[in-house]
Amino acid sequence: MKAFRISAILVAVLASFCLCDAYLVGPPLGLDQLVQESDVIVKAKVIVSKPVKDEWFTEYGGFEAYATDMRVVSVIKGDMGIRTMTFRHYGLSKDTRGFMMMPQHYEFQAGRTYIVFAKKTDADGVYRQLWKNHKTKEDQGVFLAGDSRPVAEDKSVKEIIWAELCALLKSTDPDDVSYSIGQLDEMSGGRFFELDDFDRGPVLEVIHPFLSSVDKEVATVAIRAIGADSPYLKDDYAPHWLTATGSGRIHGFAEWKRDLKNPGGHTYWRELAAVADGGAAEDIRALAIRALGRAGEPGVMDCVVRWVMDPDRLVRQAGVILLADFPGKKASGLLANLSKDEAAEVRLGVARAVGFGQFEDLLPVLERLLADEDPRVGAAAALSLISFPAAKVDAILKAHVDDAEFKSVFVNALAETDPEPYLDALAEIIQRCLEPKQFWGGRIPHALSWKILFEYLQGKSDEDLSSGSLDTYMDALERAKFYSSSEPRDLYAFYVKHAMMDREALPRDVQGDVDL
């Protein structure tokens, strides 16, 4: 068994290097926590930034330590006598070509004013950033200020930050406005940040006038903020939402709440509809429609009927996706007709909507779209199909179980319920690392096949395992080209438990790869 034990250790270690191209990142901190972490909080105007040598700053490729000299406008917390300060922080290297690890870092602009949260150092007048590793809210610890005037002395930190961000909304620079909208959105619980520094209602109230901004970036961030709770806002959300609305056969995605509401879309649906009907660019109009997902407003349906006939394909696509919120004969009829739209984007939207709304009467439409000339449409149809309960779609999956593109996901979906008829197919998926070319992410199909096949073997008796009839499947598990960190260990433990020491004689091609 020595050869296999070595292979298990090596593969597990290598897998950890391959899979862990990310690193642990802490959650964002609320303003109250930021205040507690800080020795000093100031409003200060940047004079100049320059590289500095400081042993506190660990070296990371693509980054270096900077010393930014600032003139203090107001001291919000700390030594009230501070007039100038040097803030030491990470920043991008001048010659950066990319990086593997990103520390907390800031880029300051000379002449601009910022709210800075900092720690003391042993040197007078020198402060540094709060931590080395960034949070999921990557810019925490520094806020761009709205002006260079002193802050009101009788205001809390939250009130000060709110005032600065609202001042930025009045800026003539679209970048400042976009920055402010993004900060207000994040700090009131938008963009998946669980922050509650500001109440969501007042935040949306000050943001919604920018829905109709003539600046495309400002309009985009405003729409995304107002419709932050729409599951249709981004295509990347599709597997997550199908996991929530479907049967749970899509693996590797966090499940969203099935009763998800979209308060921003509900409150400002007329304003979003006005953008969709206005003269903005096609993608802005489509985004405004997507922002209405799960808004819970019946009046939207009258608009949808108009949008699905729009000349712009992205607008039609967005309208089609929104039909998922209005199940019934009218929506089904529109989806069936639009599944033959000349634009692939619209047909893809139909494939999404059938899954989002779990339209059982349109399963034949999904089956037809599997063979669509655009592979993206076929992938969307396949994903929606496996989101349905097994009893509803297994006949369709069985009819396409040998499909060259979707075999791996269809076999897995079927084998989860009854693996016996699909053992050979599971072994093939494992050994050939099969997955769709247009794979949507989540758990890798051949890794899921490994799990299903292994669990099947775990349920067999010692007599069955030693009979030789299952050797082919154990060989497949051993020959797997992909492992998660635990699979080799689990297989080894399984052999030990069942006294299957004859399995130490691994196939020669496997031994040749792993012997030291």
Q: Can you give the CATH number for the domain in which 245 is found?
A: 1.25.10.10
Question: What is the mean pLDDT of the segment spanning 456-472?
Answer: 94
pLDDT tens for each residue of 298-326: 999 999 999 999 999 999 999 999 999 99
* Statement: residue 505 has pLDDT above 70: no
**427 and 388 within one domain:** no
Report CA 10 to chain centroid distance, whole Å: 30
Last residue within a domain, chosen from 106, 123, 151: 151
Tokens at 207, concatenated: 């943001």
pLDDT band at 23 (very low <50, low <70, confident <90, very high): low
**380 and 424 within one domain:** no
Give the Cα separation of 296 and 109 in Å (integer): 44
* Statement: residue 17 has pLDDT above 50: no
Give the Cα separation of 256 and 229 in Å (integer): 11
**Residue given tokens 């479907």 in the structure block:** 246
**464 and 501 within one domain:** yes
**377 and 263 within one domain:** yes
Of 23-32, 158-167, 428-437, 440-449, where does mean pLDDT reach its minimum?
Answer: 23-32
* Cα torsion angle, 288, 289, 294, 298, sign: positive
Report if residue 445 sits inside a domain. Answer: yes
pLDDT band at 95 (very low <50, low <70, confident <90, very high): confident
Dihedral (Cα; 194, 198, 204, 206), 10-degree rounding: -150
Of 46-50, 53-57, 77-81, 251-255, where does mean pLDDT reach its minimum?
Answer: 251-255
Report if residue 254 sits inside a domain. Answer: yes
Tokens at 93, concatenated: 């290297």
Report if residue 10 sits inside a domain. Answer: no
Report if residue 224 sits inside a domain. Answer: no
**385 and 411 within one domain:** no
Q: Give the model's pLDDT for residue 127.
A: 98
Report if residue 178 sits inside a domain. Answer: no
Say if CB 450 and CB 487 are below 8 A apart: yes
Report if residue 274 sits inside a domain. Answer: yes
Amino acid at 315: V
Report if residue 216 sits inside a domain. Answer: no
Give the Cα separation of 59 and 48 in Å (integer): 22
Q: Give the model's pLDDT for residue 85.
A: 97
Long-range contacts of 465-468 (CB under 8 A, 24+ apart): 465/498, 465/500, 466/498, 466/500
**422 and 379 within one domain:** no
Taking alpha carbons only, the member of 362, 330, 326 closest to residue 347 is: 362
Calculate Rg over the CA atoms of the chain.
28
Q: Give the model's pLDDT for residue 511.
A: 40
pLDDT band at 486 (very low <50, low <70, confident <90, very high): low
- Give the Å distances, CA to CA, from 172 to 73, 178, 338, 396: 23, 11, 43, 57
DSSP character string of 409-433: HHHHHHHHH--GGGHHHHHHHHHHT
**52 and 84 within one domain:** yes
pLDDT tens for each residue of 170-219: 999 999 999 999 999 999 998 777 899 999 999 999 999 999 999 999 99
Say if CB 495 and CB 1 are below 8 A apart: yes
What whole-number percentage of the chain has pLDDT above 90? 79
Last residue within a domain, chosen from 351, 370, 399: 399
Tokens at 482, concatenated: 């992909």
Give the Cα separation of 196 and 44 in Å (integer): 26
Q: Give the model's pLDDT for residue 4.
A: 31
Q: Can you give the CATH number for the domain in which 98 is found?
A: 2.40.50
**253 and 384 within one domain:** yes
Q: Taking the chain, what is the end-to-end CA distance rounded to the nearest angstrom?
A: 13
pLDDT tens for each residue of 411-455: 999 999 999 999 999 999 999 999 999 999 999 999 999 999 999
DSSP character string of 324-337: GGS-SHHHHHHHHH
Give the Cα separation of 306 and 320 in Å (integer): 11
Domains of the chain: total: 3
Q: Give the model's pLDDT for residue 423.
A: 98
Q: Give the model's pLDDT for residue 3.
A: 33
Taking alpha carbons only, the member of 433, 515, 509, 426 closest to residue 474 is: 426
Last residue within a domain, chosen from 106, 122, 151: 151
pLDDT band at 483 (very low <50, low <70, confident <90, very high): low
Q: Give the model's pLDDT for residue 263.
A: 95
Beta-strand ranges (E) seen in 194-331 are: none
**448 and 373 within one domain:** no
* Cα torsion angle, 202, 206, 211, 216, sign: negative
**349 and 234 within one domain:** yes
pLDDT tens for each residue of 112-154: 999 999 999 999 999 999 999 988 888 899 999 999 999 998 9
**350 and 243 within one domain:** yes
Tokens at 225, concatenated: 């903020």
pLDDT tens for each residue of 173-182: 999 999 999 9
Segments forming the whole domain that contains residue 491: 407-514
pTM: 0.88
Report if residue 11 sits inside a domain. Answer: no
**473 and 358 within one domain:** no
